Amino acid sequence: MSHVAATVPIQGLGRELVQNLFVALRSAQLYDARNDTLRAAAERFARTLEELQLVDRSARLEVGGDLILVNDVRIRSELRSYSVHANLLRFFREMGIGGFEWETAPDVGEAARFVSVVGRMELEDEDDDPVFRLRQRLVDEGLGGTRVLEPREEEADTLLDDPDKRRRAEKTYRHTVAVTRQLMESLRAGHTLRLTRVRRAVQSIVDQVFDDESLLVGLTNLRDYDEPTFTHSVNVCIFAVSLGQRIGLSRLELYELGMCGLLHDLGKVDVPREVLLKSEALTDDEWEAMQRHPAYGVWRIMAGRTKGRVPAREMLAAFEHHLNVDLSGYPAIRHPRRLSLYSRIVAICDSFDAGTTPRVYKTDPITPAEMLQALERWKGVRYDPILIKAFVSLLGIYPPGCVALLDTQEIGVVLAVDPDPRNINRPRVKIVVDSDGLHIDGPIVSLAERTPDGDFARTVIKVLEPERYGIDSARYFLAG
């Protein structure tokens, strides 16, 4: 059996274990171990552990960073269970433990006692050694067969210093831009739609996101291409795949979502080039032409379909990515509908990249941090609020590529979000200007680091416009 096939039942049982453990722990904070509601929750939890041990001969749940692992398989949260996944991670961090390993599946009574002990531990005062304290409590309750795991020691984010990984990410990015350019120029020349190379490029992006999403996300700051439509399509693909991974989509679903992201603006090949590249504000007629590109995109994708397959998801994303969740926007529609999940994801990623990218037919871009604030203001009207929450979790308050002034008077380029959701406003940054105003090749630091006195060593006090300070933030994500 392949590794992928072997992990399928663990993935499903792992999601059940996360859900049932979280519900049981919350029930334990409300009821005692003999309560029927708690015992029902404990029974579901115990049954999941039993099934897991039957399938894989072990039962182990561990957290690290923003990951939950069950029997060493990363459990990807689905959209509907995103809050459960996030809250269980926070629960473990606040307790100061790394997870549990069960030698044998508990019966209902043992499961009820287990969640009662663990659930009520969260409500007690902090302890210097919470793992030891919890182990003793479990032994006292006759539950010594359950191992309490130490928290994983978070390693420094060495990926951003790994030239090989950065080189692979840059190669993937530049190749996908080249493929996208070739695709659109071929269509403009009157050729038929051919997607073989596009599919391979999207698969490479999916693989790269699984390897390290922060490097590709950082490369979306590259601005060295003469027509923004090409890089915009690639950036939307990267953001969409990264967001899809964050909400627990499967690898196949991420590939389909990536195709939607890369092809969402395909209809712009039928918009006059002088309109796309116009340096002044568009006239009413030109804006009307621009608003027809979603319909053009549907036609282009449908015309290029292969025999026996209707690319419905790609067509929907192309048509719907400028429609808002309240159904305002464009194209105008006659009947109420619910936008597809992929369309709602692409819409967020499209707006974020468009708002932060210099575009010839609109005003100057705003900073990534300001654009995230704008997306937050529009959630529930233009954008899906749950997806906005996941998008902010993905990028942090200060997204990769942001240039920030610190309270030390240093300037740093944001490289990656901190893995702990509690530090969403404390990313990892590369110091590029020292406190004397000199440009330097400084260290990569975490803004979550504290001084011996317990204060944060560095804090963002202002987001800067990189051009005004002669900083090219994208180059810090390149291999050389």
Query: Does residue 98 have a pLDDT over 80?
Result: yes
Specify the pTM.
Answer: 0.69
- Tell me the pLDDT band of 178, cut-offs 50, 70 and 90: confident
Distance in angstroms (rounded) separating the CA atoms of residues 25 and 38: 9
Q: Which residues contact 334 (CB under 8 A, 6 or more apart)?
A: none
Per-residue DSSP letter, 170? H
Per residue in 364-401, pLDDT (tens digit) is 668 888 999 999 999 999 999 999 999 999 999 999 99
Name the average pLDDT for the chain.
Answer: 86
- Tell me the pLDDT band of 358, cut-offs 50, 70 and 90: low
Domains defined along the chain, listed by start: 3-149 (no CATH), 158-395 (1.10.3210.10), 403-477 (no CATH)
pLDDT of residue 327: 94
Per residue in 319-352, pLDDT (tens digit) is 999 999 999 999 988 888 899 999 999 999 999 9
Look-up: residue for tokens 């015309």? 303
Supply 318's token pair.
């192309």
Question: Are residues 241 and 257 in contact, defined by beta-carbon separation less than 8 angstroms?
Answer: yes
Q: Which residues contact 408 (CB under 8 A, 6 or more apart)?
A: 435, 457, 458
Starting at the edge strand found earlier in the chain, the sheet holding 67-70 runs 73-74, 67-70, 60-64, 99-102, 146-149
Of residues 172 and 4, the one with the higher pLDDT is 172
Distance in angstroms (rounded) separating the CA atoms of residues 225 and 181: 10
